[in-house]
Amino acid sequence: IASQAAQKRGWHLYLVGGAVRDLLLAKEAAGDLMIKDIDLVVDGFHKTADVGAGVELAKELQQLYPAARLEIHGAFQTAALLWHNDPELDSLWVDIATARTEFYPYPAANPEVEASSIRQDLYRRDFTINAMALRLTPPRAGELLDFFGGLLDLQAKQIRVLHPNSFIEDPTRIYRGVRFAVRFGFEIEPQTEEFIRYAINSGVYDRTAQENSRTPALQTRLKAELKHILEAPYWKSALQLLDNLGALQCIHPTLKLDEEILRQLRLLERCLRRFDSQQTLIHWQMRLEALVIHLAPEYRGKVAQNLQLQEDSIARLKKFAQSFNQVMELLPSCQHPSQVVQLLRQYDLPMLILIALHSSRFLRQQIWYYLTVLANIQPILNGNDLKILGYKPGPQYRQILDDILAASLDKVIKNKVEAEEFLAK
């Protein structure tokens, strides 16, 4: 239907990017395919398509499919149709863009390139495997446009960049390349690896890590890529590959994976399984926090801010050193369970997990005991019991209930009768 709408206006319509790659990969592997994200490009071919062509097409489609939500992004005149929890389509995201020729300033290599804006549109993309298009409009509907050898690279399992400056212009492509390599079990092609190393050695990370105020969009994309990687099942191999390439420097110049951080990340996974079976914590963010805490204290807050992490995450990273030192100083001298509770209840679960990752085995076990046992113990009496016992409701209830809780934690009282006697004293 989209193709008919384009054809009627004399435009060409193409399926581009990840969907083409995934279609071809599924064909190679004769596997199943579930595409949730479709990128379409409208091209006027020899006559220039109106810059608003994508938007016009999306509007027409939305009238035919009123269940879809239409979003228009003004700056590049792109539109998206979103189906969310649709009974037939489940969730689907269709982006419709107009072939752009001047998004990246590459001089067209030859007249043929000049003539075909779809070719230029594909040329400004990241990797050959992501730079193929499938023509959806006649004549030759169904034809694969593969100007840069994407199909061969798919077959040879290679991640190959399209031009040497790609990573300098967009350092987040380093992360994308690693993500695709690990996800598909591909290799980063040697020359592409050289371009990555060149970009990193030429200080491209300074732009990402330090000039936040001038490059907020870059930081947003870096965060999105980190999220993508850290929530994927292959996150560990991806981090390892990023580290091998020196690309963790994009987060901070001093960030490196060493044995200690790898041990902490393994421990973190065990903690998340044990203490967050309900998945109330944001696991990718916890992994990122564990990485950032590995930096010297003075860098943590700045890196968290640059990456535009959530407020609570930024606050945790800024406060970590102080909280950690406090627990290290006071926890060893806690004689009674009530003192442990008094100390540790001022921290939230993510902070306690992060502190535990850095603690000695002995103190870590104390924190685990607090989280699994002590934190779940309730006072033997509640507010209602106090009312029945004749205590006037008021702010003193908090103190009384706290005293009862401390006494039950320390096994001074074991039941309601003993609790009442304890109060009478």
Task: Fill in the per-residue mask, 352 to 381: x = in contact with ligand CTP (CB under 6 A), - = not in contact.
Answer: ------------------------------
How many whole angstroms separate alpha carbon 358 and alpha carbon 344? 15
- For residue 410, state whether it binds ligand CTP (rule: CB under 6 A): no
Side-chain half-sphere exposure of 167, counting CA atoms within 13 A: 26
Nearest CA to 198 among 209, 186, 208, 190? Answer: 190
How many whole angstroms separate alpha carbon 370 and alpha carbon 341? 7
Contact 103, 124 (CB under 8 A): yes
- Residue whose CB is nearest to ligand CTP in the complex, by number: 18
- For residue 18, state whether it binds ligand CTP (rule: CB under 6 A): yes
Contact set for ligand CTP, span 123-182 (CB under 6 A)? 125-126, 130-131, 170, 172-173, 176
Minimum distance from residue 234 beta carbon to ligand CTP (Å): 12
How many whole angstroms separate alpha carbon 17 and alpha carbon 141? 17
Question: Considering beta carbons, is residue 17 or 379 the nearer one to ligand CTP?
Answer: 17
Question: Considering beta carbons, is residue 24 or 404 the nearer one to ligand CTP?
Answer: 24
- For residue 37, state whether it binds ligand CTP (rule: CB under 6 A): yes
Q: At what angle do helices 172-184 and 190-201 cross, to 10 degrees?
A: 150
Torsion of CA 171, 174, 175, 176, to 10 degrees: 100
Minimum distance from residue 111 beta carbon to ligand CTP (Å): 24
- Enter the DSSP assignment of 127: B
Minimum distance from residue 368 beta carbon to ligand CTP (Å): 37
- For residue 17, state whether it binds ligand CTP (rule: CB under 6 A): yes
Question: Considering beta carbons, is residue 172 or 366 the nearer one to ligand CTP?
Answer: 172
Question: Considering beta carbons, is residue 170 or 410 the nearer one to ligand CTP?
Answer: 170
How many whole angstroms separate alpha carbon 303 and alpha carbon 295? 9
Question: Considering beta carbons, is residue 20 or 340 the nearer one to ligand CTP?
Answer: 20
How many whole angstroms separate alpha carbon 231 and alpha carbon 239? 12
181: Cβ–Cβ under 8 A, 6 or more apart, which residues? Answer: 159, 187, 188, 241
Question: Considering beta carbons, is residue 45 or 104 the nearer one to ligand CTP?
Answer: 104
Contact 68, 83 (CB under 8 A): yes
Minimum distance from residue 28 beta carbon to ligand CTP (Å): 16
How many whole angstroms separate alpha carbon 199 and alpha carbon 215? 17
Contact set for ligand CTP, span 232-251 (CB under 6 A)? none
Minimum distance from residue 237 beta carbon to ligand CTP (Å): 16
Q: Which residue type does 118 have?
A: I
Minimum distance from residue 95 beta carbon to ligand CTP (Å): 8
Minimum distance from residue 128 beta carbon to ligand CTP (Å): 10
Minimum distance from residue 172 beta carbon to ligand CTP (Å): 6
Contact set for ligand CTP, span 290-319 (CB under 6 A)? none
Contact 141, 3 (CB under 8 A): yes
Question: Considering beta carbons, is residue 21 or 358 the nearer one to ligand CTP?
Answer: 21
Minimum distance from residue 79 beta carbon to ligand CTP (Å): 15
Contact 352, 344 (CB under 8 A): yes
How many whole angstroms separate alpha carbon 21 and alpha carbon 184? 11
Size of the site for ligand CTP (CB under 6 A): 12
Minimum distance from residue 182 beta carbon to ligand CTP (Å): 12
Question: Considering beta carbons, is residue 160 or 173 the nearer one to ligand CTP?
Answer: 173
φ, ψ of residue 16 in degrees (nearest 5): -130, 175
Q: At what angle do helices 349-358 and 361-372 cross, to 10 degrees?
A: 160
- For residue 383, state whether it binds ligand CTP (rule: CB under 6 A): no
Binding site for ligand CTP (CB under 6 A): 17-18, 37, 39, 125-126, 130-131, 170, 172-173, 176
